[in-house]
Every structure is written in structure tokens, then in C-alpha cells.
């Protein structure tokens, strides 16, 4: 359960009862389709942050776009799975199947259970660190580290993913029990994850009170859903994740439920949603704001 007042709000210079919301664009670099969509939604002003997939094929062009816009807030979307059929990606730190990071075809596993059952924690740590190093070498100011498909929400893999962020002084995506379960963490080992999150919050690392997503399967009614989410946002620190993409032949070939990603983009370009946010009293923040709430020694 979320605390009555999230201590990170005060460290961001906000009131203790502020309704602070970060709207985030995920999967940047998965395909070219994500790049014009990102440019549009960032210019429109609802989206306040994004995250790039370093192993994905369009990362170099994504990095070039982000370098052109240094004011855009960007994080590392730590990638350990490759779920699609038409386009897949591989680890950048190893080609050794013994690490558990490769499936029989030589790509990342398609699903989280396949990864979690076999991946070496040391290999996960090395891979996430390698992805971070590539992103930094590309000239990106990485404000946070989150996770593709929430794959590290696992008793064995959470700590190595976390280690990379903490050693770099970069805020990791931290959430509370209900969201961990809803986003795929298993009950087995959940207590260990929560103990780590509680200890980090006590040390001053920000924890989101809720993590929500725009739908990735159903394209219908997404603007109305997003407006309702805004209106129902309680006091605290909250994250809303979207996966905007432009309607292109590439997207239709890549993703089975491509219409939903197009609908994510359309929702994030909705004047009515922007007006709802403006009138709601919800405060839009970025991960750079969250980074300023990190322990003093790690603030940048």
C-alpha cells in the first residue's frame, strides 16, 4: 500500500499532497515507427519522458534524434527479452548460451518465464551494464533505468538489474507490491523484492505509488481511459506508461496488436486529454525531476 505522503515529493520541491504524474513513452528504437511518434508526442507536451532499447535495431537513429533534442528526458529501457517474430534482438554483452540470455535461435528469450528460469544473475548484471555504457557513449543523459516487459521483477534477477542503476547513481524504476504483482512478479520471492524497495526508499530513492499503462491490445476508448486515469490520480508519485507508434507498414509487420500502439500515440496527441490534465490539478513531472529527489550523493 502506498504511504500517505510519498517522501520523494518534498525532495522534488512539491507539496506533500501533490498529485505528481510522469507520462512515459516506452520501447523507443524498437522500430523506426517509434521515432516520428516520439517526436510528435514530445512536441505536443503531454509525454515528459521516454526510454530507449539499446539492443533494438533502430537504437542508433533513436540516439541521434535524442541528441538533437537534449531537453527531452530519456532513460534506459533495460532489455532482456525479444518477444516479436518479425524483428528480434540479441544481447550485446555475450553470445554464450550458458548465460541463459539466448534462446535456441540466438536471440533474447521471448517471454519472461523463459528468461527467469535460466538467466545467470551475473550475466544480467553484465548485459544491463553494457546497455547503459552504450547509451552513455552515444551521448545520452540517462535519467533512469526501467525494464522491458518488467523482466527483472524476479527474485534472482531484480538485484543485478538494480545494482547497475545504483552503482551508476541513476534512479531505477521502483514500485509497490500491487503493481509488482500486476506487472508479472511472482508471489514466490516477492518479499525479497519488497525488502529491497523498502530499504531503498528509506535511503532516499523515489518509489512510485502507482504504475499504470495505456492498453497494448485494445485500441478502443484510449483517450477516455486516459482522461479517467488523470481524474482518478490520488496524491503521490505516479507513472503512466504508453507505447506510441506511427501507423506504418513496418509497425503492422512488427506487432500483432499494432492498432493499440497507434491508439497510444493518438491519445498522447489528444487536445481533450491535455485539457483534462491542465484542469485536473495534476502536476506533470519528468524523470529528471525524480532524479533530483534521489539521495544527495547521486543527484545530477
Region 247-272: mean pLDDT is 98
Q: What confidence tens digit (pLDDT) does each residue in 21-54 have?
A: 999 999 999 999 999 999 999 999 999 999 999 9
Q: Is the residue at 1 inside a domain?
A: no
CA 27 to chain centre: 8
**Averaged confidence pLDDT in the chain:** 96
As a whole number of angstroms, the distance between CA 160 and CA 45 comes to: 34
pLDDT at 187: 83
pLDDT score at 14? 96
Q: Which CATH number belongs to the domain containing residue 177 in this structure?
A: 3.20.20.370
pLDDT at 1 over 50: no
What is the model's pLDDT at position 132? 99
**Three-state SS at 281:** coil
pLDDT (mean) for 222-240: 98
Q: What band does 203 get if pLDDT is binned at 50, 70 and 90?
A: very high
Tally of domains within the chain: 1
User: Given a cut of 60, is residue 178 above it in pLDDT?
Assistant: yes
Q: Which domain holds residue 39?
A: 7-298
Is 257 inside any structural domain?
yes
- Answer yes or no: is 2 within a domain: no
Give pLDDT, residue 73.
Answer: 99
Do residues 195 and 162 make contact, with C-beta atoms less than 8 angstroms apart?
no
Query: How many CB atoms sit inside 10 A of residue 124's CB?
Result: 30
The pLDDT of 284-291, averaged and rounded, is 97
Asked whether residue 2 carries a pLDDT value surpassing 60, the answer given is no
Instruction: Give the mean pLDDT of 174-188.
Output: 93
Mean local confidence (pLDDT), 169-178: 97
Residue 224 has what pLDDT? 98
pLDDT in tens, 74-113: 999 999 999 999 999 999 999 999 999 999 999 999 999 9
- CA dist 196 and 19 (Å) reads 25
CA distance 118 to 115: 6
Q: Is 101 inside any structural domain?
A: yes
pLDDT at 233 over 80: yes
Amino acid at each position: 500500500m502506498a504511504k500517505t505522503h510519498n517522501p520523494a515529493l518534498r525532495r522534488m520541491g512539491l507539496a506533500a499532497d501533490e498529485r505528481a504524474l510522469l507520462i512515459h513513452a516506452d520501447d523507443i528504437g524498437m522500430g523506426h515507427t517509434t521515432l516520428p511518434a516520439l517526436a510528435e508526442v514530445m512536441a505536443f507536451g503531454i509525454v515528459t519522458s521516454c526510454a530507449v532499447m539499446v539492443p533494438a535495431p533502430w537504437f542508433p537513429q533513436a540516439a541521434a534524434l535524442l541528441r538533437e533534442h537534449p531537453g527531452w528526458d530519456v532513460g534506459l529501457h533495460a532489455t532482456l527479452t525479444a518477444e516479436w517474430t518479425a524483428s528480434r534482438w540479441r544481447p550485446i554483452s555475450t553470445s554464450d548460451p550458458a548465460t541463459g540470455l539466448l534462446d535456441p535461435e540466438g536471440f533474447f528469450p521471448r517471454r519472461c518465464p523463459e528468461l527467469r528460469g535460466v538467466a545467470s544473475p551475473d550475466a544480467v548484471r553484465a548485459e544491463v551494464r553494457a546497455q547503459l555504457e552504450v547509451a552513455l557513449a552515444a551521448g545520452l543523459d540517462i535519467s533512469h533505468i526501467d525494464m522491458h516487459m518488467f523482466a527483472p521483477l524476479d527474485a534472482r534477477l531484480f538485484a543485478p538489474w538494480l545494482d547497475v542503476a545504483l552503482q551508476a547513481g541513476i534512479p531505477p524504476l521502483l514500485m509497490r507490491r500491487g503493481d509488482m504483482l500486476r506487472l508479472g512478479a511472482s508471489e514466490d520471492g516477492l518479499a525479497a523484492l519488497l525488502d529491497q524497495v523498502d530499504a531503498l526508499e528509506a535511503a532516499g530513492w523515489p518509489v512510485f505509488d502507482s504504475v499504470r499503462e495505456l492498453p497494448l491490445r485494445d485500441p478502443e476508448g484510449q483517450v477516455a481511459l486516459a482522461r479517467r486515469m488523470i481524474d482518478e490520480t490520488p496524491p503521490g508519485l505516479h507513472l503512466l506508461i504508453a507505447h506510441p507508434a506511427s501507423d506504418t507498414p513496418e509497425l503492422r509487420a512488427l506487432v500483432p496488436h499494432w492498432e493499440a500502439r497507434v491508439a497510444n500515440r493518438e491519445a498522447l496527441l489528444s487536445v481533450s486529454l491535455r485539457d483534462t490534465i491542465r484542469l485536473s490539478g495534476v502536476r506533470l513531472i519528468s524523470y529528471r525531476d525524480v532524479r533530483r529527489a534521489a539521495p544527495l550523493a547521486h543527484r545530477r
